[in-house]
Structure 1
Amino acid sequence: MSIKGKAYLMGAFEHPLRDAPDTSTPQLHAECARGALIDAGLTKDDVDGYFCAGDAPGFGGLSMVDYMGLKNVRHLDSTETGGSSYIVHVGHAAQAIAAGKCSVALITLAGRPRHGGRRPGAGMAPGGGGGLTDGPPEAGFENIYGGSTHNTYGMCAMRHMHQYGTTSEQLAWIKVAASHHAQWNAHAMLREVVTVEEVLASPIIASPLHRLDCCVISDGGGAVIVVSPEVARSLKRPLVKIIGSAEAPKGPRGGGGLDLTFSAGAWSGPAAFAEAGVTPADIKYASIYDSFTITVLMQLEDLGFCAKGEGGKFVADGALISGVGKLPFNTDGGGLCNNHPTNRGGITKVIEAVRQLRGEAHPKVQVPSCDLAIAHGTGGSLGARHGAATLIMERE
């Protein structure tokens, strides 16, 4: 069953906090939910579907429905795919709405990795996976080999450079573009515009990745509201229609045949484009998961914005800067500069895409006549097993 045109994104809210020492994780979830409902023009009593992932405390959806006083929920989904969870959830919400399981779906993310610490015995926290308090399921299999967030992504970058001639200078352009956008975001953690030279001069964290190739870690969160067409047309908000969605896993298959130069987006991307009936050339704005600069480069290739191995040339010389380049990306500053709440930045990608399609992004980064956008994310680790999710949205 296709979900094309069967659900709309009508509420979006990004929590303004990046450091929340005095706010609990459930409170952050609730504040994000309230903000998204206000944005949509709805109340909590309208919500009949709730979606969350592993960042939700207690019994996840069961606990949060009770905490937030959601009395009319008849559909729950707590799918966990790391940083891509929330892009997956938008697709699942559209499916549930199309199947008649709910008509107003609330999706929330929140966390406090800057204050939560690491649970004893927890494994590494992948750039697109569990937060600092959540060891991923694969930890028991792979941590004995010394894997960490940074060096697994570093492996991907090193292999891409070896195989395709990609350079650190080309990766640095991704950070430069993010910083050009973040300067206009009052809530961004890093608002200073940086140069390629400054990225390359920052300390090596996991060769060949520098400190400025890595995302920030922030407290905070966000929420979005997905509704049926009937509900959407009753609200006084711009209509953002969901027209394509797909998800896919990728793993080492027992330790053999793991190609480090591509992600699961190589499968989720084409499937989402096929459902939407559009091509990468049609996209006006791209929200791309950016745990590291190499994450962005590989996903742009896998989604079809350029050929495999051509990502370095594609992103160079300001190609991702709004108003300058051919594909504006992450105009809020993304995970590289704005925020990366609880190591799960997928929902922020959807939020900024909604802003762009509504024409509500900052005037300095708003894409003119933005009528088609993509949000794409990964969860897990590109250097090991992970999943990807792709969402295509259209302004109606």
Structure 2
Amino acid sequence: MRYPYRNPAGYEERLNRQVMGHLHYSLQEGATLLNTMLEDLPVSFGDDASIVAHQYDPLPKSADTEVDREIDWVIRDADTLVGFESKYDASLGSKQLRDELAKLRANADERYVHLVAITRHASAPSLFDEFDGDPVYWTNWFTIATRLERTDERDVPPAQRVPLRMLRDLFEGEDMEPFSGFDHQDKLQYRYFVRDLRTRVDEIDLENRGKLHTWTTESQDPSGGSRIVPEYIGIPFVDEDRPPHNKAGRPKSKRATVPLVVVDTDRHEVYAGIVFGIQKVSRHRKLLLERGNSIAERYHSNGYEMWIGRNSINNTTVPPEKTRDLDEMQAWLSDTGKKVLAHHDEDDNYRNVWFLRGCSQTDLEELFDAIVRTLREQKAWVIDSDEYLEGSSLSDPSTV
């Protein structure tokens, strides 16, 4: 569905009002729903909790700060006063948080004070490192949406079930609905998968750059015979310190050699590993040619299979060839046979070599854990170590 109040630009104040409204009605019957939203934070409320201030009716006492801040919303019970600073697109600064914490303390009346910032970041912004020891916490809208989506309505008082459903609808309309599994009928699940995957992989200092593609446009006659959803979705994750590569003002979307995740959209199987762009970086082709046997053996012994392709992973005329057999892997990487590693001047040449390990799991948390574990392994082998590749060949814009 498309939520009727969706407005992706300049929506912060409206989003705050809607969330506050749903929470206001749920708090009439206790704090169960609110505590569910905040269950991973060291903050909880008693059933006497209520919204006591917001940016249109702020806390009465000012703090000794240059700016008298208006906290987005404030909730109080007998023992605790908690301010919530919500950011949707706007930036967040440490001075603002310090001012708001001071204002909460000025209005605490001997209650414990906490300040919670909610943003759209995949992980906590670095500014929160400045608040070590202070009662200032961070979460994001995606995490809250995930908690609500996975909440069993039977665990919520009957009077709070309608606000729960309305919050779910709101977050779904804002593309905050969590990934719930692949579905041939729901193309948006691929978008949610990439979005939620980004937040997990960000923790190991790899990042996926560029826009998310949803492939939802229907066409009776796709141009060029293209599919509405490609057979494979390749999701590259580069080292966060890797500089952007631009050519004639256009970001280069196809990376040469990079850890990645591949989704088989027909079978809904997920793989993670690395792709070597053997024609884009000549030294990587030479590496596989010189050390193919040992490299193939290492990947094979750790459960990876090998794919080779002359063109795109989605080339339907000459699709990728795959093998799990070690002897075949080593033969393909030799200077005979298929000439996978032939120089680009030869006619029969390949462009990419993938080493991929299956990560598919029924449980979604186990799926994400398997992907992150594999990408962390590739980061250790190929990016953090010079055992196979020179680090400069993955970070120097002139080579990638």
State if a TM-score over 0.5 links the two structures: no
Give the alignment's TM-score, normalised by structure 1. Answer: 0.24
Highest RCO, 1 vs 2 (Cα 8 Å, sep ≥ 6): 1
The structure having more radius of gyration, on CA atoms, is: 2
